[in-house]
Structure 1
């Protein structure tokens, strides 16, 4: 792990209404790390991501980002601070063009960095080719690339990737894995990944956490998170 802590969670509890899903989560993520949270369906992984990006309000605990307490910050403030979120299901704006979706992503980076379309297009050239096409007419894989590109427009320090392989053909999954690795290597972008796809996990994660019933019950070092047999034990395949 990096010597410099980027994200630190302490006793984090969160959920929906009266239902508490996260049962006191403690986690650290260093600057420039790619960390996976793995586990079976329904254990709270997506709830964790929605809480980290500000869409769910914690009922207890603390979220520290870049040394600052952001527990009470709304989603827009966290985005402007450098937390990019790519939700499960992608959630692009279907009636807007590809270019217009990317324009929306610029908002998160205002005051921190100028929008960099060329870098986005370098990683995802299909977005330049389809710039005038409505996002809702793209394939699932193209929409996932657009969702990542939109987050990149905000120049995040941390990218939250929630099930990026869902509904996407294997060749596109490989492209996304390669691009995430390259982004990490070239820019130092940190990534917190929630995923069920065994190949994607072992190809990009540098270490991992195992979640069960809203708690992190194990940590996986580099050798363990890149072992197909070890990761498979914690997934429903």
Structure 2
């Protein structure tokens, strides 16, 4: 593995109940890179994310992170190595306040709470304004920022975003994209996002993997991402 490669999978197979979904996924993510994974519904994108974080065991193949095999590591141990996961639907704790949600991530970082909170608030000012508000009363876009902030408390070097635009008003989607790109530029954190929203993909991704039938079938360059029709073709249901 080259020194600048943060995450690499080789021949990754995984599925449910003995039925394979991923069928030999090969991918690489470099340090500081934002990579999108796109494709039609049902081709294995979310299964890939769950396999990377450890919620779904690999049947075959390898996952290496910072040169270390993740094969036998549980999800919480992968998080402590520096992988943050924002699941589809965000999964914030609705009855807890913003700050209480952020506190959930403190066991990962080992840092003093207030210092870490203020850092997150610097990236997402709306969370500072709403720090005492129950998460369940916030908008979808604000909850998405909170979900990302909760991951940031753990000081990750890689964030996995599964369908970050889902359930968010179109006018707010690009705000989430802009904030994520700004976070990448300021901290150097790598991001892998599974997404269907063409505008969000174009705004965030530096490179793009295309999935079909459980495999990576193409890689789109930044120039190719500028062509909406090219991206749309790979997203077509």
TM-score bracket for this pair, using the shorter chain length:
over 0.9
Q: Within 1, Cα distance between the matches of 2:114 and 2:67?
A: 24
Q: Within 2, Cα distance between the matches of 1:71 and 1:24?
A: 15
CA RMSD of aligned residues (A): 1.8
After the TM superposition, which residues 22-37 of structure 1 pair with which residues of structure 2 at under 5 Å, given as runs? 22-37=22-37
After the TM superposition, which residues 178-217 of structure 1 pair with which residues of structure 2 at under 5 Å, given as runs? 178-217=178-217
The unaligned stretches of length 5 or more in structure 2 are: none
Matched, 1:109 2:109: yes
| 2:158 counterpart residue number | 158
Report deviation, 1:101: 0.5
Q: Secondary structure at the match of 1:55?
A: coil
After the TM superposition, which residues 59-208 of structure 1 pair with which residues of structure 2 at under 5 Å, given as runs? 59-110=59-110, 116-208=116-208
Q: Within 2, Cα distance between the matches of 1:236 and 1:29?
A: 25
Q: Within 2, Cα distance between the matches of 1:88 and 1:81?
A: 22
Compute the TM-score of the two structures, normalised by the length of structure 2: 0.95
Compute the TM-score of the two structures, normalised by the length of structure 1: 0.95
Q: Within 2, Cα distance between the matches of 1:236 and 1:217?
A: 15
Q: Secondary structure at the match of 1:116?
A: helix
Preserved contact between residue 80 and residue 110 of structure 1 (Cα < 8 Å): no
Q: Within 1, Cα distance between the matches of 2:82 and 2:51?
A: 15
| 1:14 counterpart residue number | 14
Preserved contact between residue 86 and residue 151 of structure 1 (Cα < 8 Å): yes
Aligned pair count reads 236
